[in-house]
């Protein structure tokens, strides 16, 4: 009888498409960052599709109001009042 020994694996035994689906169905960014630390394979899959994965997680977290929330965040970023301007407003 022959015995097989398996060493520790540095990656998951999952197809990249499955890892991509799992990343897209996460409900918050804490879970996404934790899962990316699990293995190099997960991190590599994230690096191949970062925009679509972040968009999916953001939609899960914010819901249908995501387009309006993005518009508000971009508007605030473009219209930042400098600290010197705040003193004049007081």
* Global model pTM greater than 0.75: no
Q: What is the pLDDT of residue 2?
A: 47
- Domain borders along the chain are 16-89
Mean pLDDT calculated for residue range 64-87: 74
Condensed to tens digits (0 to 9), the pLDDT of residues 40-71 reads: 989 999 999 999 999 999 999 888 888 888 88
* Whole-Å CA distances, 77 to 65, 72, 81, 82: 18, 9, 10, 12
The count of other CB atoms within 10 Å of the CB of residue 49 is 15
Q: What is the pLDDT of residue 5?
A: 42
């Amino acid at each position: 009888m022959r015995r097989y020994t398996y060493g520790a694996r540095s990656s998951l035994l999952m197809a990249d498409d499955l890892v991509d689906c799992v990343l897209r169905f996460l409900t918050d960014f804490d879970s996404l960052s934790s899962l990316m630390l699990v293995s190099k394979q997960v991190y590599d899959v994230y690096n191949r599709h970062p925009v679509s994965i972040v968009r999916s997680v953001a939609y899960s977290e914010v819901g249908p109001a995501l387009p309006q929330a993005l518009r508000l965040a971009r508007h605030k970023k473009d219209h930042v009042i400098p600290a010197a301007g705040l003193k004049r407003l007081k």
